[in-house]
Structure 1
């Protein structure tokens, strides 16, 4: 699962989250609930510290790019604000798993 992709590179993952000022990072979809295969993408929900809309957008874009490079596969990166569909939002909220907590700087998977 997702933890298998992160293990062995835990500090690098933490450093990427810190550099992009991630407050919370959740995984959802097959990365959490299976079946997670070599062809699966990685579904992430991220909340970052907000300052300036332009800088925030650039930071999100950079984080998405770095996550795809880290996992070496497609990453779907959502933010709480991007979840407009109430059905999809409820499904993600019900299945998401916190994998990084920016308040403590800890990786939880």
Structure 2
């Protein structure tokens, strides 16, 4: 996992607790050698703890914006259920690294 992310793990945890995140993982270039500090975005997989009255829309965009501020770069935020292609899903699940778990 790239140091841009590891340097902010405490703040990521605070953000996740505030927004009802059950689990947050990073995948893609940020967990490998192809991360480019000048141009790479950060790919993040989220699972919310969506109980009664949970506002998914607001929490999703608040998390995306919060992570972009913390990392200083664009964030592609996806949920596991939104990955329809089985090969893409398998690749994400095999390469993901946990950032936060409730």
Q: TM-score, normalised by structure 2?
A: 0.87
The one-character-per-residue Cα deviations of 1:26-74 (angstroms, maximum 9, x if unpaired) are 1111101222111111000010111358711210111011111111101
Q: Equivalent residue for 1:63?
A: 63
Gaps of at least 5 residues in structure 2 are none
How has the CA–CA distance of structure 1 residues 13 and 56 changed in structure 2, closer, same or farther, with 3 Å as cutoff? same
Structure 1 unmatched runs, 5+:
103-109
SS of the aligned residue for 1:90 comes to helix
**3-state secondary structure, aligned to 1:24:** strand
Higher relative contact order (CA 8 A, sep 6+): 2
Q: CA RMSD in A?
A: 1.8
User: Please, what TM-score do these two structures have when normalized by structure 1?
Assistant: 0.82
